[in-house]
Chains A and B, each alone.
Chain A
Amino acid sequence: MRAWLRHHREALWAGLRRLSYLNAIVVGIALALPTGGYAVLESLRPAGARLALEPRISLFLEPELRRADAEALGKRLSADPRVETVRFVPREDALKEMSAIQGLSEVIAALGRNPLPDAFVVTTRQDIAAELGKLPGVAYVQADAVWARRLAAAAAVVELGLSLLTLLLGAALVAVTFNTIRLQILTRRDEIEVSKLLGATDAFIGRPFYYLGFLQGIVGGVVALALVAVALALLNREVATLAESYGSNFRVGFLPTLEALGALLGAGVLGWMGARLSVRRHLRAIEPS
C-alpha cells in the first residue's frame, strides 16, 4: 500500500515535470470557446425563460377611445377564461415611464402633448393575439410570445451549435494529448526499453504518461476558465452600458462553481483518455530485442 502510494506520487511528479505548458495553453484556448459560449447561454437562459413562461400580449387602444369604453373592454378581457391577468396602462403612466428613460424626456417635452395611447397588458398561455386585435377599440396588438418563441428557437440552435463545438474540441483535446504522449514515449524510448529489461511492468511505465495526460487536461481547463473570466470582464463593461440603456442590470455571469469544476474534471478525463489510447498503442511497440 505504501509502495503503491509512493509509485503514484512519483508518477505524478514525473507527469508534472514532463508537462508542456505550451500544449496546455493550446488545449485551454480550444476549451475556452465552448466554455465561454456556455457561460453566455446560461446567463441568457433566465431572461428567455421568463419571456417564455409569461407570454404577454400588449393591446394598444385607439387614441380617441374614451376611458369608459376602455374600462368596458377591460371587464370583457377579465371575463375571458383564457386570459390570466389584465393590467391597464393609462397613457399618462406610459408617458411617465418613458420620460424616465434617459434621452427620451427631452423628446417628449418637445412634442408638447402625449402621443401615447392607453393600453392593456394581458398575460395568456394561448395564441389569441389575432382574436384580441379584432376587439372594438383595439388599434394594434403586439404579442411578446412570438418573440419568446423566436428567442427560444434561436437559443436551441446556439445550444446545439455549442454541443457540437464541445464534442469537436473534446475530440481535439484527446487527439492533442494522444500526440503529446506519443512524442514523449518516443523521446523516452531508451529509458522505456531499459526499464522493461530490468522488470518494470507496463502499468509502472505508463503511469507518468496517464498523469501527464490528466494534468495537461486540467491545466488546459484552468487556462480556459481564466480566458473566459478575462473575456467576460471585458465583455461586461460593454454589456453594462447597453443594459443600463434598457433600464436593466443584466450581466453575463461566470460559470457556476459546480459547472466550472465539472469542466475542469471533464478536461482532465479527456486528457487521460488521450493518454490511455496513446500508451496502449505506443508503449507495447517498444520491446527490447
Chain B
Amino acid sequence: MVSFAAVAKHYPGGQQALKDVTFSLEPGEMVFMTGRSGAGKSTLLKLIPAIERPTAGSVIVNGQNVGALKRSAVPYLRRNIGLVFQDQKLLYDRSVYDNVMLPLSFSAHPAKEAARRARAALDKVGLLARERANPIQLSGGEQQRVAIARAVVNRPGLLVADEPTANLDAESAARILDIFVAFHQVGVTVVIATHDEGLVSRYGKRVLRLDAGRLA
C-alpha cells in the first residue's frame, strides 16, 4: 500500500527533516507514528499525498512513485487518500454537509449518489443531525469528525491523519480514534501520527517511532 525506501528530506536552509526512512504498510494495516514535536512525523505524512517531495529515496503509494509523479497526476493520487489534519481545514463559509460534499464535487458522481454518500459519511461519524450547521458552531471534536467524514466520503483505501487528537480532551480523542479503528476494521489502511503514546498503547497496533528524522 505504502512503502518508503531510504527516504530523506531536506528543507531549503539545510534543515534535515528525515534521514534514511524505510518501512512499508500492508493493505488494511493500522499504524501509529509517534515521536516528539519536530521529530519529522508531519513531514513523513506529507510525502504520502505529494504535499512534499522526497529529497532522496522513493515513496511508493498504491504502486505509484510519488516522488516522480507529474504535477497533473497529483490530484488523482490524492482522491485515493483520505487526509485528516490537526487543524481540520474545514471551510467556514458553508454547512457541514457542503464541507463533506466538497471532494465529491470534483469527481464524476451523479448528484443523488453524491448526496447519499455524504449523508452516509456523516452518519458514520455520528453527525448526520448537524448537517445543516456551520462547522464554527461545532466543538473541536465534532469539527474533527466532520473532517474525517470529508476524508472518507470518496471511500479511499488509505487514511492519513496528522495529530487528529492534539487539541481535544481525552473523551473526544478516544471517540476520534474509535472511528479510525472502525474504518480499519472494514479494510481501510490507516496511518495516524500522534505524540500521545499513552493513547497509542491502548490499541495494541504497530507503532513507528521517529526520533530526529530517523525511525527508532
Contacts and interface: CB of A to CB of B under 8 A. Distances in A.
Interface of A: 2-3, 6, 10, 190-191, 193-202, 204, 288-289
A195 B107 CA distance: 12
A200 B51 contact: no
B91 A199 contact: no
B122 to A, nearest CB: 16
Given A199-B78, A199-B106, A200-B106, A194 B51 contact: no
Given A288-B51, A289-B51, A198 B106 contact: yes
B51 A199 contact: no
Interface in B64-80: 72, 75-79
Q: Give the interface SS of chain A, mostly helix, strand, loop or mixed.
A: helix
B83 interface: yes
Nearest to A193: B89
Nearest to B108: A3
Contacts of B75: 196, 199-202
A191 B51 contact: no
A70 B92 CA distance: 95
Nearest to A288: B51
Given A199-B78, A288-B51, A191 B91 contact: yes
B150 A198 contact: yes
Report which residue of B103, B110, B154 has the largest number of chain A beta carbons within 10 angstroms of its beta carbon.
Answer: B103
B102 A194 contact: yes
A194 B72 contact: no
Interface in B118-174: 150, 154
Nearest to B93: A191
Contacts of B108: 2-3
Contact of B91 (A194, A200, A201): A194
B102 A197 contact: no
